[in-house]
Amino acid sequence: MPHGTHSNSLKALLDGNARWAVGQPTHPHLDMTRRKLVANEGQKPFAAILACADSRVPPELLFDVGIGDLFVVRVAGNSLDKLGQQSLEYATGHLGVELVMIMGHQGCGAVKGAVDAYPASAPEFLSVIYRAIEKSKEVIKERGGNPDDKVALAKETVDRHVIRMVNELRAKHSFAETIGKGKLAVVGARYDLDSGRVMMLIE
């Protein structure tokens, strides 16, 4: 669990999600006063999110936050590429964000596309997720499951892909140094479409 400011930021995210999941969001920071404040004083987000581009997974809504609260990077399959990495580096290095969350989600179409292509060659745009699938298949086999069960493989891969992206980001020099100083935490989670809940996978 992140400590200090990191834990406060994570708690704020999870508390907001709890409100969203039970249908009691407060919709903070959405009025004209807030809009003018961030326009005049600049942005000071308390967390950065790398999430899937799926239209069912809007971070500001499912964490019940408003304008200027989150620095959000969205790409199909919540995969970490150079542009996404540099965007997060901007959030942590320039904006002072101390918590980064990589968030996958139930029923991810990008993951399903890569799973459906397996074991044939996956389309190039799914190559990052495809590599995670290969590792997930071995894990399912080790656990005694059927690695050819594509439903199980897709579910497992959503989580393993998040964990893999978290570990890759943590290993990047610009992040590893800040993490080592206790000034940054990188965590991973999964959003469940059915329940509306965000489940932590790696802290």
Q: Could you list the pLDDT tens digit for every one of the 203 residues in the chain? A: 455 578 899 999 999 999 999 999 999 999 999 999 999 999 999 999 999 999 999 999 999 999 999 999 999 999 988 999 999 999 999 999 999 999 999 999 999 988 888 777 777 778 888 888 888 888 888 888 888 888 888 999 999 999 999 999 999 998 999 999 999 999 999 999 999 999 999 99
The CATH code of the domain that includes 143 is 3.40.1050.10
What is the rounded CA–CA span in Å between residue 158 and residue 192? 11
Q: How far apart are CA 60 and CA 17, in angstroms?
A: 10
Peptide bond before 2: cis, by omega within 30 degrees of 0? no
By residue range, what is the domain housing residue 86? 5-202
Distances (CA, A) of 197 to 41, 69, 95, 176: 33, 19, 28, 29
Rounded Cα–Cα distance for residues 60 and 162 (Å): 19
**Count of domains in the chain?**
1
Q: What is the distance between the alpha carbons of residues 136 and 153, in angstroms, rounded to a whole number?
A: 7
Beta carbons within 8 Å of 90's beta carbon, 6+ residues apart: none
Q: How far apart are CA 186 and CA 203, in angstroms?
A: 7
